[in-house]
A and B are shown apart, each in its own frame.
Chain A
Amino acid sequence: MAEQFLILRNPGAAPLSELPILPFDEFRSQALAAIIGRKARVVAFFAYAHGAAQRLLLILASDQEGKLLLSSSEIEGAFESFTPSSAQFHWFEREIYEQHGIMPKGHPWLKPIRFDSPGSNADEPGVCEYFRLAGEAAHEVAVGPVHAGVIEPGHFRFQCVGEQVYFLEISLGYQHRGIEKMLRQGPDKKSLHLMETCCGDSSCAYSGAYAHLLESLQEDLCPTERTQVMRMIAWELERLANHTGDMGALANDVAFRPTMAYCGRIRGEFLNMTAELCGNRFGRGLIRPGGMGYDINDAIVAKLLPWLQASGKELRNALELLFSRAGVLDRFENTGTVDSKTAANIGMVGIAARASAQKQDLRSYHPYGWYRENPYEAAWAESGDVYARALIRYEEIKKSLAMLEPALKKLPPAEKNAATPPLSLQPKHIAVSMTEAWRGELCLCAITDEQGRFEQFKIVDPSFHNWYALAMALRGEQISNFPLCNKSFNLSYCGHDL
């Protein structure tokens, strides 16, 4: 049986007619063969109504070949669950069941993930059956949805014996806004804003992915070389700011104050640099389909360069201090370990996956924009613990700093380009665009209708893949180490809930 996939490069689009619609059995066996053979991993799996029919659409990524494999199947009301064969589908099938009432038969743990399903009896977020550990010595600790710090809402249930966690169950959905629904019938004036607010700390990654998506759907939307460089600057500044903040928070969680205090301040420096580019600390309005919202002039470059060098130096000092402390390393090492096999099985992405020996970074393996011409070598580590996740952040901070300085020095000259053409997307097309947000792989997928409007819009935030990894990291861990493990993943609640 020949493999029947629609093959795309990232970002890419193709006429909808080229998407194979397979009989379900073939669809299933072909997908599982690719996944279990470790040739590909799940990027997105969702259902949509196509006229009267229900379709399943699966997007796989083959990292070795740098290809995206798309395939689909029509089903009626139910299908045989993939989850018992591959845990990567676990969360996606729960989502499909919740959104469309399509039953994945044989799914071991079918629960709502956002508590927003019109047909079912799920009501308030977090109100559902939880896994329970029975026994005299077992006790349950419920944390959230309201937390002590200024963070987003999420509910965590720990089943413990003494200080040891046997099981952690994470229940989200409190931030659900229905963004995917709002994006349908777009693109319109609100679309870009919605994209930027999917997950506020990854605004640039989202707006970049969205820009690529539209550019792949409309040929005359063509970013210039200068635009590509400026987008990279926005993405890497975003990555720097978030990685710096996380390193400070990790230091704080082990009560190592000096690095915490410095990183907190330096994170602000990187945010302010982004604000220097576009007036917003999170880079809102900076990246636009077809171009940029703002240009970088020589005065800004002259201001940014020394600023970046000074902040980079201070940051290196603060992090060297952190990594030179035996007490800190003792806390980081062997805490919250996710081994590489688990990481591959559950389909982790981003820094957390790279820390568990998964060689995957879209900038290296599915390069887009600037990274196509400028190969990036992904940082990765093997131990899969908090230390590895901290180390990956430090390595990526160094790499980002090394990319930014030469890029700012040698900005391609501004071209007298005509105004961005009005949006008119190709009708009846499917497009996929992925960017490496600072947390990991961010995937957008759009299907256009006859008028070139979004008939379907699917967002897969990196946190969607990784929340379950946090639960795995906590198995057998001390409950007092949860905040540290949680911070080492630092997943997004609103990115997951959309």
Chain B
Amino acid sequence: MSMFVWFCGLLLSLLLCPLLSGLICKLKGIFVGCPGPSVWQPYYDIIKLLRKGSVYSQTTTWVLPLAPLISLAAMLCAMLFLPFAFVDSPLAFEGDVIVFFYFLAGARVISVLAAMDTGSSFAGMGASREMQFSSLAELGMFCILAFLVMTTGNFSMSGLLNGAGILIWSYSGTALLLVIIAFFILLLSENCRVPIDDPDTHLELTMIHEAMVLDYGGPDLGIIHYTAALKLWLFTSICSLIIVPAGLFSGFSGLLLFILAQFLLGVLVAIVEGTAARFRFLKVPQFLLAVPGLTIIAIIMLLLFK
């Protein structure tokens, strides 16, 4: 039964992830006083792109067309380790956190390589920015992992995210809150959201992630859009699994709560995007270094009050 719920969670994740992006766009529209695009727009876009043909620059190699597929595959593999709907993943094993994050890192490496492959100065600039900021984000990510490992004593994604239980809020609620804020910053940064990046800009010189995919069109771009939606869903999943203690809900009520939490986080992202201005680049590293900062404070609190 629980395996079935996990499988439903995975399937719904794959189906609903563009809807989350659509919801954010819709809410952003409402924030600025216009109706905004339909929440189904990302689906239309992806379907439209998949039906198109592709054009490749003659200076590129096989890396360019292969990168979106590898990225998508890596993202899908990483997804399999998540405990959807608070049910441990059937693939979980002790130490799979490392596998999980290497899948994410692998997706990034191949997209950076593809960006360099184009030889365009915009893509190169985007790749350099992406690597600079993600190396800082990685530091924060592993601090958060350390915190979760300390609270749960577990080394698998399922164990880390599901093992905390309701008790953690009672004995280290403040610490957990700091970690959630820290993770939310990471979520914004990894998914190229305001205030770090601007997913809607058309100005190549200010782009980070978008600059890397400027040379793509057609099905490749459709896959890239889908992968981006999947990545956002993956990060909101981790965030909601950290927030909601496991064991409170199980079965289909757990699944319902899981999906609901995803969309609530989407609303939060939309609020940030609709009201904040983007940082200048020099400020982004400071913002990203807040993540390990907050997490280390949380770890100290944990050690003091455990």
- Contact mask for chain A residues 144-168; partner B; CB cutoff 8 A; 1 contact, 0 none: 0000110000000000000100000
CA distance A179 to B294 in the complex (A): 62
Chain B's closest residue to A251 (CB) is B277
List the one stretch of A93-101, A323-331, A389-397, A441-449 in contact with chain B: A323-331
Q: A148-B203, A255-B200, A258-B274 are in contact. Are A478 and B31 (CB under 8 A)?
A: no
Which single member of B28, B280, B283 contacts A257 (CB below 8 Å)?
A: B28
Query: Which B residues from 276 to 306 make CB contacts under 8 A with A?
Result: 276-283
Q: Are A148 and B202 in contact (CB under 8 A)?
A: yes
Q: Are B277 and A256 in contact (CB under 8 A)?
A: yes
Q: A142-B121, A253-B203 are in contact. Are A258 and B32 (CB under 8 A)?
A: yes
Which single member of B34, B202, B276 contacts A261 (CB below 8 Å)?
A: B34
Which single member of A255, A260, A262, A481 contacts B195 (CB below 8 Å)?
A: A255
In the complex, what's the smallest C-beta–C-beta distance from A368 to chain B, in angstroms?
38
In the complex, what's the smallest C-beta–C-beta distance from A252 to chain B, in angstroms?
8
Is the interface on chain B under 10, 10 to 19, 20 to 34, or 35 or more residues? 20 to 34
Residue numbers in A under 8 Å from B32 (CB-CB): 257-258, 260-262
Residue numbers in B under 8 Å from A258 (CB-CB): 31-33, 274-275
Which single member of A142, A331, A335, A478 contacts B278 (CB below 8 Å)?
A: A331
- Contact mask for chain B residues 5-36; partner A; CB cutoff 8 A; 1 contact, 0 none: 00000000000000000000000100111100
Is B194 part of the contact surface with A, judged by Cβ < 8 Å?
A: yes
Is A75 part of the contact surface with B, judged by Cβ < 8 Å?
A: no
Is B152 part of the contact surface with A, judged by Cβ < 8 Å?
A: no
Which single member of A141, A251, A253, A257 contacts B125 (CB below 8 Å)?
A: A141
Q: A148-B202, A330-B283, A483-B203 are in contact. Are A255 and B34 (CB under 8 A)?
A: no
Q: Are A483 and B125 in contact (CB under 8 A)?
A: no
Residue numbers in B under 8 Å from A163 (CB-CB): 129, 281
In the complex, what's the smallest C-beta–C-beta distance from A200 to chain B, in angstroms?
21
Residue numbers in B under 8 Å from A335 (CB-CB): 280
Q: Are B282 and A478 in contact (CB under 8 A)?
A: yes
Is A170 part of the contact surface with B, judged by Cβ < 8 Å?
A: no
Q: A256-B277, A325-B277 are in contact. Are A262 and B33 (CB under 8 A)?
A: yes
Residue numbers in A under 8 Å from B195 (CB-CB): 255, 327
In the complex, what's the smallest C-beta–C-beta distance from B210 to chain A, in angstroms?
10
CA distance A334 to B260 in the complex (A): 43
In the complex, what's the smallest C-beta–C-beta distance from B214 to chain A, in angstroms?
9
Q: A261-B32, A335-B280 are in contact. Are A255 and B201 (CB under 8 A)?
A: yes
Q: Are B201 and A143 in contact (CB under 8 A)?
A: no
Among B198, B276, B279, B282, residue most surrounded by chain A Cβ atoms (within 10 Å): B276
Q: Are A478 and B281 in contact (CB under 8 A)?
A: yes
Is B66 part of the contact surface with A, judged by Cβ < 8 Å?
A: no
Residue numbers in A under 8 Å from B279 (CB-CB): 327, 330-331
Q: A258-B32, A258-B274 are in contact. Are A143 and B281 (CB under 8 A)?
A: no
In the complex, what's the smallest C-beta–C-beta distance from A88 to chain B, in angstroms?
29
In the complex, what's the smallest C-beta–C-beta distance from B30 to chain A, in angstroms?
11
CA distance A260 to B275 in the complex (A): 12
Q: A141-B125, A478-B280 are in contact. Are A257 and B274 (CB under 8 A)?
A: yes
Q: Are A481 and B280 in contact (CB under 8 A)?
A: yes
Chain B's closest residue to A487 (CB) is B203
Is B205 part of the contact surface with A, judged by Cβ < 8 Å?
A: yes
Q: Are B277 and A255 in contact (CB under 8 A)?
A: yes
Query: Which B residues from 72 to 131 make CB contacts under 8 A with A?
Result: 121-122, 124-125, 129
In the complex, what's the smallest C-beta–C-beta distance from B7 to chain A, in angstroms?
39
Is B206 part of the contact surface with A, judged by Cβ < 8 Å?
A: yes
Residue numbers in A under 8 Å from B122 (CB-CB): 141
Q: Are A330 and B200 in contact (CB under 8 A)?
A: no
Q: Are A143 and B277 in contact (CB under 8 A)?
A: no
Chain A's closest residue to B203 (CB) is A483
Chain B's closest residue to A318 (CB) is B33
Residue numbers in B under 8 Å from A478 (CB-CB): 280-282
Residue numbers in B under 8 Å from A480 (CB-CB): 205-206, 280-281
Query: Which A residues from 296 to 332 make CB contacts under 8 A with B?
Result: 325, 327-328, 330-331
CA distance A141 to B31 in the complex (A): 35
Chain B's closest residue to A322 (CB) is B277
Q: Are A255 and B203 in contact (CB under 8 A)?
A: no
Is A482 part of the contact surface with B, judged by Cβ < 8 Å?
A: yes
Is B204 part of the contact surface with A, judged by Cβ < 8 Å?
A: yes
Q: Are B280 and A255 in contact (CB under 8 A)?
A: no
CA distance A139 to B120 in the complex (A): 12
Which single member of A148, A330, A481 contacts B204 (CB below 8 Å)?
A: A148
Residue numbers in A under 8 Å from B278 (CB-CB): 254-256, 327, 331
In the complex, what's the smallest C-beta–C-beta distance from A170 to chain B, in angstroms?
14
Q: Are B205 and A331 in contact (CB under 8 A)?
A: no
Query: Which B residues from 125 to 155 make CB contacts under 8 A with A?
Result: 125, 129
Ranked 9 nearest A-B pairs via Cβ = A327-B277, A261-B32, A255-B278, A483-B203, A255-B198, A256-B277, A148-B202, A257-B32, A254-B277
What 10 additional pairs, Cβ within 8 angstroms, besides A255-B194, A255-B278, A479-B125?
Answer: A148-B202, A148-B204, A149-B203, A255-B201, A257-B32, A258-B32, A261-B34, A327-B277, A330-B277, A331-B277
**21 A-B pairs in the complex with CB atoms less than 8 angstroms apart:** A139-B121, A141-B121, A143-B204, A148-B202, A148-B203, A163-B281, A253-B201, A253-B206, A254-B278, A255-B198, A257-B273, A262-B32, A327-B278, A328-B277, A330-B277, A330-B283, A331-B277, A478-B280, A478-B281, A479-B125, A480-B206
